[in-house]
A and B are shown apart, each in its own frame.
Chain A
Amino acid sequence: MGAIEFLLNGEEVALTGVSPTTTLLNWLRYDRGLTGTKEGCAEGDCGACTVAMRAPGGDWLPTCACILLIGMAHGREVRTVEALPSDEGLHPIQRAMADGHGTQCGFCTPGFVMSLWVAAQSGALGGREDVCDALSGNLCRCTGYGPIIDAALSVGHTTSPDLSRTISDPEPLTYRHSEQSFWGPTSVDALADLIAEHPEATILSGATDIGLWVTKHDFDPLEIIYTGRVEELARIERRGGALHFGAGATYRDAVDALATIHPGISPLIRRIGGAQVRSYGTIGGNIANGSPIGDMPPALIAAGATLHLRRGAERRSLPLEDFFLGYGKQDRSPGEFVEMVEVPVPTVPSTLACYKIAKRYDQDISSVLGCFAVETEGGIVTSARIAFGGMAGVPKRAVSAEASLTGAPWTRATVEQAMAALAEDLSPLSDHRASADYRLTIARNLLLKYFLETTLAAPITDLPRNPVAVV
Chain B
Amino acid sequence: MSPASANATGQALPHDSATKHVAGTAIYADDIAEPRGLLHVYIAMSDHPRARLTRVDLSAVRMAPGVAWVGCADDVPGVNDTGPVVMDEPMFAATERDGGEVHHAGQALFAVAADSLKAARAAAGRAAIDYAPEAPILTIDDAMREGSFVQPPYRMARGDVDMTLASAPHRLTGRIEVGGQEQFYLEGQIAVAWPGEDADMRVVSSNQHPSECQLIVARVLGVPAHAVTVEVRRLGGGFGGKETQSNLMAACAALAAKATGRPAKCRLDRDQDMILTGKRHDFVIEYDVGFDGDGRIAGIRFTQMARCGWSLDLSSAICDRAMFHADNCYYLPTAEIISHRCRTNTVSNTAFRGFGGPQGMVGIERVIDHIAHRLGRDPLDVRRVNYYEPPDGPGERAVTPYHMRVEDCVIGEITEDLANSSEYTARRAAIARWNAENPWIKRGIALTPVKFGISFTTTHLNQAGALVHIYQDGSVQLNHGGIEMGQGLHTKIIQIAAEELSISLDRVRITATQTDKVPNTSATAASSGSDLNGMAVRAACAELKGRLVRFLCETENVIEADIVFLPDRVQVGAREMSFSDLAKAAYLGRVPLSATGFYATPKISWDRGAARGRPFYYFAYGAAVTEVAVDTLTGESRMTRVDILHDVGRSLNPAVDLGQIEGGFIQGAGWLMMEELWWNAAGHLKTHAPSTYKIPTAWDRPEQMNIRLWEKGMNRELTIKRSKAVGEPPLMLAISAHHAISHAISSTGTSYPALNAPATPEAVLLALGRAQA
Chain A interface residues toward B at CB < 8 A: 29-30, 33, 35-43, 45-46, 48, 80-82, 84-85, 90, 93-95, 97-99, 101-110, 113, 128, 131-132, 135-136, 138-149, 215-216, 218, 355, 357-365, 367, 431-435, 438, 441-442, 445-446, 448-449, 452, 460-461, 463-464, 467-471
Contact = CB atoms under 8 A, between A and B. Distances in A.
Contact of A471 (B22, B30, B426, B699): B426
A442 B634 contact: yes
Contact of B24 (A37, A95, A147): A37
B585 interface: no
A42 B663 contact: no
A383 B640 CA distance: 38
B662 interface: yes
B117 to A, nearest CB: 10
A46 B690 contact: yes
A360 B20 CA distance: 31
Contacts of B271: 216
B666 interface: yes
- Interface on chain A toward B: helix, strand, loop, or mixed SS? loop
A136 B689 contact: no
A362 B700 CA distance: 8
A464 B636 contact: yes
A101 B15 contact: yes
A361 B697 contact: yes
A389 B561 CA distance: 79
3 pairs of A and B residues whose beta carbons are closest in the complex: A36-B24, A105-B486, A107-B236
A98 B486 contact: no
Nearest to B692: A432
A359 B21 contact: no
Nearest to A105: B486
Interface stretch (B52-60, B309-317, B701-709): B701-709
11 contacts: A36-B25, A105-B236, A142-B486, A216-B269, A218-B122, A433-B692, A438-B765, A460-B633, A461-B438, A463-B638, A470-B431
B235 interface: yes
A357 B44 CA distance: 36
B690 A145 contact: no
Contacts of A362: 697-700
B226 interface: no
Contacts of B627: 469-470
B388 interface: no
A76 B114 CA distance: 34
From B118, B238, B270, residue with most partner A Cβ within 10 Å: B270
B186 A110 contact: no
A446 to B, nearest CB: 7
Contacts of B28: 38, 107
A469 B270 contact: no
A364 B636 CA distance: 14
A33 B31 CA distance: 8
A132 B634 contact: no
A268 B630 CA distance: 20
Contact of A144 (B235, B635, B663): B663
Contacts of B118: 218
B23 A94 contact: yes
A135 B697 contact: yes
Nearest to B25: A36
A35 B30 contact: yes
B72 interface: no
B270 A40 contact: yes
A98 B21 contact: yes
B24 A363 contact: no
Contact of A105 (B22, B187, B434, B666): B187
Contacts of B22: 81, 90, 93-95, 97-98, 102-103, 106, 109-110, 113
Interface string B422-455: 0100110011001000101101000000000000
Contact of B21 (A109, A138, A367, A431): A109
Contacts of B689: 41, 43, 45
Contacts of A463: 441, 629-631, 636-638
Interface string B650-668: 0000011011001111110
A84 B23 CA distance: 8
